[in-house]
Structure 1
Amino acid sequence: MHVEVQNLDKHFGSFHAVKNVSFAIEKGKLIGLLGPSGGGKTSILRMLAGLEQPDDGEIVFHGQRVNDLAPQARGIGFVFQSYALFKHMTVFDNIAFGLQVKKVGKAQIRERVTELVELTGLSGFEGRYPHQLSGGQRQRVAFARALAPEPQLLLLDEPFAAVDAKIRQELRSWLRNLIERVGITSIFVTHDQDEAIEVADEIMIINQGRLEQKGTPWDIYKEPATPFVASFIGQSTLVERAVTLKGFEEEGGGVETKALIRPEYIEVGPEHEFTLLSATSPGIVKHLHFRGSEWLVEVEVDGQTLTTFRSLEKENLKPGQEVRVLVHRAYLYNEERNWVLENPLKRDPLSVII
């Protein structure tokens, strides 16, 4: 493994910021640290960088324990949320700064900076100062500066937070392509789940100082390991009592069981659209929201409002209309366990109405 963290722990006074966190990262992977604000993501990143010292635990880079190494000796590049560019330096000098500190020869510096300027799409801007650049261009300079000393690990603290939504979308794709071309192991902090899902090879969900789950975006979305992950990733409707859902009445084994249901796991429409009619519940359309490519439908079932999507190609629904609602899949949890379940009635051939 390129990066290994074992039992990492950190307090800030009486606040327990990071709690016994362990993980391993393969070389060349782009990892997203995702979670709510104050959950411990940046604290983990800063300990990896050497900007904070852990109270306990081991940090290992390519087989070497680095806990006691200074930041500049760890072979890392760091991209800050606020760019942290030197205002009095040109683009060229900003990128060259780390190489100059390492006393690299002038010819080598020029060669490396020219390479990175081309790689990051900054050709023609070498002589400009940060205030003469757009937010996206400044962020590209920050990336180039971090990559200049050829680090073994790239750390990024909410790298797109300071740019507007349109530029942020463009930079996501650009970063993904850049990391693939350079082949550097990278870890970035974000609280934007769309950003993490789009960019990262793997995601680590951090909440209240703990690592809730690590896996590919697909695995985390389809098979959340904890109730927090299930509620945090994507949209979900919480149903306090799973026994009120058609097909899920027997689940829970006598223990009070809750259900989280994603919109795409709910099907809603007139009765004639369903063959598994006995697996459906009656519902009333409460609200319809046009989303351009689809409808967002709010439907009331047994006093509970569920949210789902409906294709524009299907028959239009109207507020107040009586419909049938089929819950295909739910994430169930109680004090004893949590699990994902397909609606059992969908497997029962006797429930099919022909």
Structure 2
Amino acid sequence: MHIEVRNVNKTFGDHKAVQNVSFSIERGKLIGLLGPSGGGKSTLLRILAGLETPDSGDIFINGKRVNDVQPQLRGIGFVFQNYALFKHMSVFDNIAFGLTIRKTSKAEIKNRVNELLDLTGLRGFEHRYPHQLSGGQRQRVAFARALAPRPDLLLLDEPFAAIDAKVRKELRTWLKGLIAELGITSIFVTHDQDEAVEVADEMLIVQQGRLEQQGSPVHIYTDPQTAFVAGFIGHSSVVEEPGRLRGFERTSLSSGARALIRPEFVEVGRQEEIAFPSASEKGKVRHIFFRGAHLELDIEVNGNRLSAHRSLDQVPLHPGQEVSVLIHRLYVISEDSATMVENPLKIDPLPVHI
């Protein structure tokens, strides 16, 4: 493994910022470190960089324990969310900064900076100063400066937070391609689920200083291992009495069970549109929201409010309309687990009497 974190803990006063966290990362992977504010993301990143010292546990890079290695000797590039560019330096000098303090030869600095100007699309901007650049261009300079010393590991702390939405999406695509081209192991902190799902090869989900789950975006979305991950990833509705929903009364759900239901788990329409009418029940459309490629429906079913998606190609529904609702599946949640349950009536439908 390229990066390995073993049983790391970090406390600030009474606050347990990182609690017994362990994970490993293969070389060349782009990892999204995701979680709510105050969950420990930035602290973990700073521990990897050597800017914070763990109270216990070990950090290995390329098989070498680096707990006592100074930050500048760890072979790490760091990109901050506020760029942290030197205002009095040109783009060229900002990119060259790390090489200059290492006393790299002028010829090598020139070659490396020119290489990075081409790689990051900044050719022609080398003599400009940060205030003469757009937000996206400044962030590209920050990336180039971090990459200049050829680090083994690139760390990015919410690198797109200060950039508007359109440019942020463009930079995400650009960064993913750049990292793949360079083959450099990278970890980026974000609180944006869409950003992590779009960019990351793998995600690390943390909350309250604990690692909840590690895996590919698809694996984490389709197979959440904890109640927190099931509720945090995606957009879910919480149902307090899932055993009262059509079909699920036939399961062994306890009266105190709670469930999470994602929009894609819910089928809504006129009765003839529903694939398993015997498994559906009546509901009412409360609100309809246009989401570009689809409509999002706010549905009331048996006292519960659920979200569902509907194609723009289907017959339009309207607020107040009574509809048939089929819940295909749901996640039953407990304190520390999430279990998917399929609607039994889809598998074993009720008999139809003619």
Query: Offset of 1:256 from its aligned partner?
Result: 2.2
- Written as runs of structure 1 = structure 2, the 5 A alignment for 1:61-210 is 61-210=61-210
Aligned to 1:13: 13
Alignment partner, residue 214 of structure 1: 214
Cα 1:206–1:351 change in 2 (3 A) is farther
**Cα pair 1:279 1:351 within 8 Å, conserved:** no
Cα 1:56–1:324 shift into 2, 3 Å: same
Q: 1:346 offset after TM fit, Å?
A: 1.0
1: CA distance, partners of 2:336 / 2:125:
59
2:175 partner letter:
L
Q: How many residues align?
A: 354
SS in 2 for 1:278: helix
Task: Give unmatched runs, 5+ long, in structure 1.
Answer: none
RMSD: 1.5
Paired amino acid for 1:347: I
Within a 5 Å distance, the mapping from 1:2-41 to structure 2 comes to 2-41=2-41
* 3-state SS in 2 of match to 1:249: helix
Match of 2:323 in 1: 323
1:68-107 CA distances to partner (integer Å, 9 max, x unpaired)? 0000110000001111111111111111111111111111
In structure 2, stretches of 5+ residues that fail to align are none
Distance in 2 of aligned mates of 1:193 and 1:336: 21
Q: Give me the whole-angstrom Cα distance separating, in 1, the residues matched to 2:4 and 2:170.
A: 31
- 1:54 corresponds to which letter in structure 2? P
Deviation at 1:250, TM superposition (A): 3.6
Query: 1:164-206 CA distances to partner (integer Å, 9 max, x unpaired)?
Result: 1111111000100000111100000000010000000001111
Mapping for residues 35-54 of structure 1, pairs under 5 Å: 35-54=35-54
Query: How far is 1:13 from its partner?
Result: 1.0
Displacement of 1:336 = 7.7
Counterparts of 1:202 and 1:101, CA distance in 2 = 34
Shift of the alpha carbon at 1:274?
A: 2.2
Q: Structure 1 residues 335, 113: CA separation in 2 closer, same or farther (over 3 Å shift)?
A: closer
What SS does structure 2 have at the residue aligned with 1:178?
Answer: helix
Measured after TM superposition, the shift of residue 254 of structure 1 is 3.5
1:351 deviation in Å?
A: 5.5
* Distance change in 2, residues 1:252/1:34 (3 Å): farther
**What per-residue deviation string (whole Å, max 9, x for no partner) do you get for residues 235-258 of structure 1?**
100001110121222434536211
Residues 353/223 of structure 1: CA separation in 2 closer, same or farther (3 Å cut): farther
In 1, are the aligned partners of 2:227 and 2:337 still within 8 Å (CA)? no
> Which letter maps to 1:316?
P
Distance 1:55 1:252, change over 3 A: farther
- After superposition, the Cα gap between the structure-2 partners of 1:351 and 1:345, relative to the gap in structure 1 and judged at 3 Å, is farther
- Identity of counterpart residues, as a percentage? 63
Q: TM-score, normalised by structure 1?
A: 0.97
The within-5 A match list for 1:262-341 is 262-335=262-335, 337-341=337-341
- Runs in 1 of length 4+ with deviation above 6 angstroms? none
Q: Which SS does the other structure have where 2:5 is aligned? A: strand
Equivalent residue letter for 1:149: P
> Normalization by structure 2: what TM-score?
0.97
Matched residue SS, 2:58: strand
Whether the 8 Å CA contact 1:270–1:324 is kept in 2: the answer is yes
